[in-house]
Amino acid sequence: MRVTIVGCGYVGEALARLLGAQAQSYLTLTTTREQRRAELESLGDRVLVLKASDAPALKQALECADAAVLCMAPGGDRQVDAGVYAATYRDSITTLLELLPELPQLRQIVYTSSCGVYGDAAGGWVDERSLVVPRDAHAEVLLESEHLLAQARSDQRRVSVQRLGAIYGPGRDLSRRFKALAGTTRPGDGQSHSNWIHRDDVAGAMAAALAGAWDQTVNVVDDQPWRVADLLDRICTAADLPPVQWSGASPEATPMADRRISNRLLRSLGYELLHPTLSGL
């Protein structure tokens, strides 16, 4: 299979390693930065430096691909405004849609969206059939991008939209990210749920979508949502640090959406999680 990974960052690299180790595949990997070319060259057959909204460059990346995996992001964990989000997701997908008539061999698209498209469910479970109510301009861009990409679906082309939970894994481990909160007092009660997925399961689910020709929207989260207070407690205890305190006062103006994301569909598609619950805390 000839696969192009558009946006070969944290999860794209993990997918490239997995596909490279698995079977006969020809991999094209993209980055926006020339200085990343050397590190990506060891993971694929061809490396291209491009922004996906650059139509000629995207066409070059996709013109011989059977499958495209879109996992671009504006900058890992860095916070950016909604305009940068739109330039990264919506403009890239719009460009892809315009190119599709010239890409008849492209039979599969896998796209990493986010569980951020779901609204608040007062701690209840949500699945792919639940109402999506974007709570901010960023989530609106993500949902609009999903809707746009649905236009790429046809009898000849499948589209797998993967709504990812928050990603952790090597280099993005939870204790390092949250230890700074030890001993602080946070607003609210910390009872909202967070939903997680290990980087290797993101790569695994994308590979499964390619191999299984998935053609639907699927949540990619692990089995166990964590209340934020419980998670921080666990991290502080494991590191022998003072616990986080909760003020009980109303949290910030837009409190974190509280919902538990179901992975029942992911499991029913036959995917077995490598990390069914948070590991390495």
Ligand X SMILES: NC(=O)c1ccc[n+]([C@@H]2O[C@H](COP(=O)([O-])OP(=O)(O)OC[C@H]3O[C@@H](n4cnc5c(N)ncnc54)[C@H](OP(=O)(O)O)[C@@H]3O)[C@@H](O)[C@H]2O)c1
In the complex, the smallest distance separating the C-beta of residue 247 from ligand X, rounded to whole angstroms, is: 26
In terms of CB distance, is 139 or 244 closer to ligand X? 139
In terms of CB distance, is 84 or 245 closer to ligand X? 84
Using the rule CB under 6 A, is 117 a contact of ligand X? no
* Stretch in the footprint of ligand X (CB under 6 A) among 72-80, 94-102, 210-218, 234-242: 72-80
List the one residue out of 146, 110, 6 whose CA is nearest residue 62. Answer: 6
In the complex, the smallest distance separating the C-beta of residue 250 from ligand X, rounded to whole angstroms, is: 26
CB 25 within 8 A of CB 211: no
For residue 4, is it left (φ>0), alpha (ψ between -120 and 50) or beta? beta
In terms of CB distance, is 110 or 236 closer to ligand X? 110
CB 95 within 8 A of CB 53: yes
Pairing of strands 245-246, 185-186: parallel
Tell me how far the alpha carbon of residue 103 is from its chain's centroid: 25
∠ CA 218-223-229, rounded to 5°: 115
Selected binder of ligand X within 31, 94, 160, 263 (CB under 6 A): 31
Pairing of strands 193-194, 226-227: antiparallel
Residues in contact with ligand X, shown as a per-residue x/- string from 50 to 69 under the rule CB under 6 A: -xxx----------------
Task: Name the phi and psi angles at 234, rounded to 5.
Answer: -60, -45
In terms of CB distance, is 11 or 205 closer to ligand X? 11
> Under rule CB under 6 A, how many of the chain's residues touch ligand X?
28
In the complex, the smallest distance separating the C-beta of residue 236 from ligand X, rounded to whole angstroms, is: 21
Question: What residues line the site for ligand X (CB under 6 A)?
Answer: 6-12, 30-33, 36, 51-53, 71-76, 88, 92, 112, 114, 164, 166-167
